[in-house]
Amino acid sequence: MANRLSAPCLECGNPLRALDKVCPFCGSPNKPALSKKEAGIYTINLEITLPTVEQAIHQFDQSLDNLNGTAIAIVKVIHGYGSSGKGGRIKEAIRQELLYQRRNHIIDSYYAGEDLLPGKEIYQELLRYQPQIKNILRKDIFGNPGITLIILKRS
């Protein structure tokens, strides 16, 4: 039985999950034909284990590598805002990595959580570029400086 995060394999018709790179039934490398709404938002939580900046960057890279070649198209990175109230080092490091486009083979675009507020031009730009995203964004993203939203490239 297929669930919300699965679609039929293009070869054998068995359910293929959004994170599967190959069909577990027939071995086909075809990705499931999931819409972005069906695939939802994949979350990378860099806060949960209280890592160092280096550990967080490593976890971020590993997660992106694991998502490459899957049907996942939208990633919410929870990096936190920092306890100082001025922005945390992990947030700054992740945003620097994104700014310098070191992962442009997989990342199409990214949006700072604090810029994702209805009425803000960047939010309106995102909706023009990805209109279906409005249906899957959750309130925890809106205006949240501890989150970055990433749009992955479709291969």
pLDDT band, very low/low/confident/very high, at 17 (cuts 50, 70, 90): low
Whole-number pLDDT of residue 74: 87
Q: What is the pTM of this model?
A: 0.73
Q: What pLDDT score was predicted for residue 83?
A: 62
Q: Kindly report, as residue ranges, where domains of CATH 3.30.1370.110 are found in the chain.
A: 35-152
pLDDT of residue 118: 84
pLDDT at 36: 46
Give the highest mean pLDDT range of 46-60, 75-89, 129-143. Answer: 46-60
CATH number for the region 35-152 comes to 3.30.1370.110
For the stretch 77-92, pLDDT in tens is 999 886 665 558 899 9
Q: How far apart are CA 28 and CA 11, in angstroms?
A: 7
DSSP 52: -
Query: What's the confidence (pLDDT) of residue 111?
Result: 92
State the average pLDDT over residues 13-27: 71
CB 76 within 8 A of CB 141: yes
What does the pLDDT average to over 22-39? 63
Centroid of chain to Cα 34: 15
Average pLDDT over residues 38-58: 84
Which residues are CB-neighbours of 87 under 8 A, at least 6 positions away?
Answer: 81, 145
- Read off the pLDDT of each residue in 31-56 and give the average, rounded to a whole number: 75
pLDDT over 80 at 18, yes or no? no
Quote the tokens at residue 39.
């695939």
The β-bridge partners of 75 are 42, 150
- Distance (Å, rounded) from C-alpha 146 to C-alpha 82? 8
pLDDT band at 31 (very low <50, low <70, confident <90, very high): low
**90, 97, 94: which is closest to 49 by C-alpha?**
90
State how far the Cα of 2 lies from the Cα of 65, in Å rounded to an integer: 25
| Mean pLDDT computed over 119-132 | 85
Average pLDDT of 1-26?
63
